[in-house]
Chains A and B, each alone.
Chain A
Amino acid sequence: MKVAVIVFPGSNCDRDMHHVLKDVFHLESQLVWHTDALPKNIDAIVLPGGFSYGDRLRAGVIAAHSPVIKDVKKMAEKGMPVLGVCNGFQILVESGLLPGALLKNTSLNFMCKWTEIIVKNNKTPFTNKLKLDQRIPIAIANGEGRYYADEKTLALLQKNNQIVFTYGEQVNGASLGIAGISNKAGNVVGMMPHPERSAEQIINPKNAKPASLIFESLLNTLGVTA
Chain B
Amino acid sequence: MPSFKVNVIIENKPEIVDPEGDTILNDLILKDKKTSVKKVRSAKMLRFVIDAKDKKSAEKAVLGICNEFRIFNPLVSKVSVETLGA
Interface residues of A (CB under 8 A from B): 57-58, 61, 64-65, 94, 99-101, 103-104, 106-108, 148-150, 153, 173
B20 at the interface (CB under 8 A from A): yes
Are the CB atoms of B70 and A64 closer together than 8 Å?
Answer: yes
- Decide yes or no: A149 and B75 within 8 Å by CB, A104-B19, A106-B17, A108-B23 being known contacts: yes
Asked if B19 and A94 make an inter-chain contact with CB atoms under 8 angstroms apart, the answer reads: no
**Contact A108/B19 with A103-B76, A149-B75, A150-B75 known, Cβ cut-off 8 Å:** yes
Interface centre among A64, A100, A103 (most CB of B within 10 A): A103
Q: Which residues of B contact A148 (CB under 8 A)?
A: 16, 75-76
B45 within 8 A of A: no
Interface set, chain B 58-83, CB cutoff 8 A to A: 69-71, 73, 75-76
Cα–Cα distance between A101 and B15 once the two chains are bound (Å): 14
Q: In the complex, which of the residues B16, B70, B75 contacts A61, with contact meaning CB atoms closer than 8 Å?
A: B70
> Chain A: which residue is nearest B20 at the CB level?
A108
A-B contact pairs, 23 of them (CB 8 A): A57-B71, A58-B73, A61-B70, A61-B71, A61-B73, A94-B70, A94-B73, A99-B75, A103-B12, A103-B16, A103-B76, A104-B20, A106-B17, A106-B19, A108-B19, A108-B20, A108-B23, A148-B16, A148-B75, A149-B75, A150-B15, A153-B75, A173-B17
Q: Contact between A65 and B69 (Cβ–Cβ < 8 Å)?
A: yes
Q: Which residues of B contact A (CB under 8 A)?
A: 12, 15-17, 19-20, 23, 69-71, 73, 75-76
| CA distance in complex: A148, B16 (Å) | 9
- Cα A7 to Cα B73 in complex, Å, equals 24
A106 to B76, CA, bound (A): 15
Interface class of chain B by DSSP: loop
Find out whether the CB atom of B69 lies under 8 angstroms from the CB atom of A101.
Answer: no
A113-B23 Cα distance, complex, nearest whole Å: 24
Q: Are B75 and A100 in contact (CB under 8 A)?
A: yes
User: For A57, what are the chain B residues with a Cβ–Cβ distance below 8 Å?
Assistant: 71
Bound complex: CA of A57 vs CA of B73, how far in Å? 11
Say yes or no: A101-B76 contact (C-beta < 8 A), given A61-B70, A65-B69. yes
Residues from chain A with Cβ under 8 Å of B16 in the complex: 103, 148
What are the residues of chain B within 8 A of A153 when measuring CB–CB?
75
> What chain B residues lie within 8 Å of A61 (beta carbons)?
70-71, 73
